[in-house]
Amino acid sequence: MLSRQYADLHSGLGLSIAKRLCTDFLATYPTHETLTIIFTTRSSRKSTTTLSLLIDHLAALDRSGHSATLRIRFSTAQVDLTSLPSVAALSKHLIHSFPHLDAAIFNAGMGAFTGIDWLGCFISLAKNWVEAVTHPVFKIQAVGRTVPQPAVGGGDIGEVFCANVFGHYYLAHELMPLLRQGRGRIIWVSSLEAYARVFDKDDLEGRKATHSYEASKRLTDVIALTSSLPATKAWADSYFSASEQEQEKEKGERRPKMFLSHPGICATAMVDLHVVLFYCMTLAFYIARWIGSPWHTISTDTGANAPVHLALARDEELVETEAQRKKWGSGSDRAGKGVLRVTDVEGESGEEWEELGRDVWRQMEELRVVWKARLEEAK
């Protein structure tokens, strides 16, 4: 019996990704194949709550005539993506607990949001409603937030950078032995707000960024879409190897691949809002969709469409659609039906793009090696 195994980092969207993995797997894979979903949360209490919700989802699928409980199982672990020792501990747990990993879906993240510029919000809505709620310019964010790493000898790292990018990046490298034994898909969940204008390659951690969330998503796009370019080969070869010492041995093995997705615009609690304001935001999203926005999925279940597609699609389909070279977005039509759409990425071509990819990959690998050494010294 073939076992498919996937890792999903939890949030509102993360829960929907796990549910969609269950539903779509049962609908598209033969009955002799099984699925293991490994989801992570920041606390055992949240793990218990999430597991209960997923078990209820399986029970509902069983009542619909599927053999869900016989073909799908769950495993959970805790991790704090802003703590590199926690990330390292998770990788060791997974390495010792599972024989392979077919896909790692990197969805968890955070923003340094502190409030909303309400005057700017109303002005932008009046000018262009859809643009205002697709590319908002009125979110206020803290600048310079870092998170200390006392367990590895001190020092700190950009908080949003670590949670949204580097924690995932470090974890994926540590999981290369499992990914090489499976289908080897690393699926990043980015955003429509991955703006080139807010990203500075000389401030990779976003310590000076006024829009650290958007900068982290731009960095995600660059990492994923340049991972297979000749310009990044020297650093990508080191990264995709299970360890620097085993590169020669692994030349004949399957090299993992990175894929890029985003959930469209979902109604989630990433920005902390009063319940009344949350419903006002959701209504604004519905109005945008009725007007004609292609990206307001609103439901996290619809938002999960793109990452789940990349996790479950057959290899030949991904090759045929050149999936590794595109940013796949979850969208919807006016009625709310999910639509998979390829999304434009600013500047994605030419010599400047390759140079950007080369600089980013070099810095990310240098940073990974530095923190790896610190973690080893702290043992």
What are the residue ranges of helices labelled H in the chain? 12-28, 44-63, 68-71, 84-97, 118-127, 129-134, 159-161, 167-174, 176-181, 212-225, 233-240, 275-291, 300-303, 305-312, 315-320, 350-377
19 is catalytic: no
Catalytic residue among 217, 326, 327, 372: 217
Query: If residue 106 lies in a helix (H) or strand (E), which one and from where to where?
Result: strand 103-106
* Rg value, the chain, Cα: 20
**How many CA atoms lie within 13 Å of 352's alpha carbon, on the beta-carbon side?**
5
Number of C-beta neighbours around residue 170 at 10 A: 22
| Catalytic entry in 19, 213, 227, 293 | 213
Distances (CA, A) of 215 to 156, 158, 194, 196: 19, 12, 6, 8
**In 10 A of CB 302, how many CB atoms?**
22
* Dihedral in degrees, nearest 10, Cα atoms 293, 294, 298, 300: -160
Calpha distance 224→274 (Å, rounded): 35
First-residue to last-residue Cα distance in the chain:
39
217 is catalytic: yes
> Closest by alpha carbon to 162, among 377, 373, 371, 375?
371
Q: How many angstroms separate the CA atoms of 247 and 233, rounded? A: 13
Catalytically annotated residue among 16, 190, 330, 332: 190
CB atoms within 10 A of CB 249: 11
Q: Which residues are catalytic?
A: 190, 213, 217
